[in-house]
Amino acid sequence: MLNLVWAEELDEATTRDVRELLLAARVVDGRPEVSAEGPLPGEFASGPHLLARDEGVLAGYAHLDTAGDSFGRQVAEVIVRPDLRRRGVGTALVAAVAARSGVSAGEDKLRFWAHGDHPAAARIAGRAGLRRVRELLVLHVPVAGADWPEPALPEGVSLRTFVPGQDEQAVVAVNARAFDWHPEQGSLTEEELRATERENWFDPAGFFLAERDGTLLGFHWTKVHPADPKQFGGEEVGEVYVVGVDPGAQGGGLGKALTLAGLRHLRERGLGQVILYVEGDNAPALAVYSRLGFTRFATDVQYSL
């Protein structure tokens, strides 16, 4: 019999159970990004947590971000242990999260992620009356043979790399203006940026800033993901993590130049693949990335209550 329990915090033993479940899901799905040690991924960092146990075994887990995205929508993640799927665990988790959120149908104040756009997630969403409202595309490009020329910066613009302890305020300010429309990225704070600087993957040498007369106009923040045996031949993969251009500096080719600078850096790192995330309805960005050789690899979906 399935037993659902909410927890505001996870004790050490439950954290181990959740990590085991997330790692098992990653083996099958390639998601989420979770390590065998250390803290859980940021999207699972704080409560409330929903634990679904079947005869003592953690069959499913859900996290509800009540602080929500940049537009005040609560955001949920739901993961079911691969060997216990198709037994109603996901349906039960979704229903319990919807009830806990206090959101009424049609308000668009609660969204569920379905990473990889799995058919099972679509079936659960349909039964729960959820609407497909957002597609986040994962694009990729093989580095070998990619034609990435030297960046052509606009007149008077220079390029340098990020300096921790110096550039946080300027980057956050430009980011807020560049992504005022984005559900997640637009809310980046200096505190969050500094916290990311403490992550093992952070590398200021891959964080490019474009300036004119000492004023930041845009940036390209790259990332290198650890090898995943289920993806990209088990090798490290680079990511065009964030490209942000101040609205006042858009339209002059700065975004393309910053993108090329980061791509060439990732190529120099010896990586075989580069990925990026882009909104499915962002036609201008999709056109740019297509010309740089990117093609669709996967799709993440958000469903709304």
Structure tokens at 25: 């899901």
Strands 273-279 and 237-245: parallel
- Say if residue 84 carries a ligand binding annotation: no
SS3 64: strand
230 is in an annotated binding site: no
- Which residue bears the tokens 């198709």? 86
Residue 134 annotated as binding site: no
- Whether residue 78 is annotated as binding a ligand: the answer is yes
Residue 186, annotated as binding a ligand = no
Q: Is 194 annotated as a binding residue?
A: no
244 is in an annotated binding site: yes
Query: Is 27 part of any known ligand binding site?
Result: no
Kindly provide the b/e burial profile for residues 11-34, where b requires at least 16 CB atoms within 10 angstroms of the residue's own CB. Answer: eeebeebbbebbebbbeeebbbeb
Is 61 labeled as ligand-binding?
no
Does 277 appear as a known binding residue?
yes
**∠ Cα 262 266 267 (to 5°):** 115
User: Quick check: bond before 164 cis, omega within 30?
Assistant: no
The reply to whether omega before 151 is within 30° of 0 (cis) is: no
DSSP state of 103: P
User: 288, exposed or middle or buried, with CB in 10 Å at 0-12, 13-18, 19+?
Assistant: middle
Residue 66 annotated as part of some ligand binding site = no
DSSP 164-214: TTTSHHHHHHHHHHHTTT-TTGGG--HHHHHHHHTSTT--GGGEEEEEETT
Residue 169 marked as a ligand binder? no
252 is in an annotated binding site: yes
To the question of whether residue 239 is assigned a binding role by annotation, the answer is yes
Separation CA 230–CA 250 (nearest Å): 38
Q: Write down how long the chain is.
A: 305
Would you say 253 is a known binding-site residue? yes
Asked whether residue 5 is marked as a ligand-binding residue, the answer is no
Mark the binding-site residues for acetyl-CoA, compressed into ranges.
78-80, 86-91, 243-245, 250-256
Mark the binding-site residues, compressed into ranges.
78-80, 86-91, 184, 223, 239, 243-245, 250-256, 277
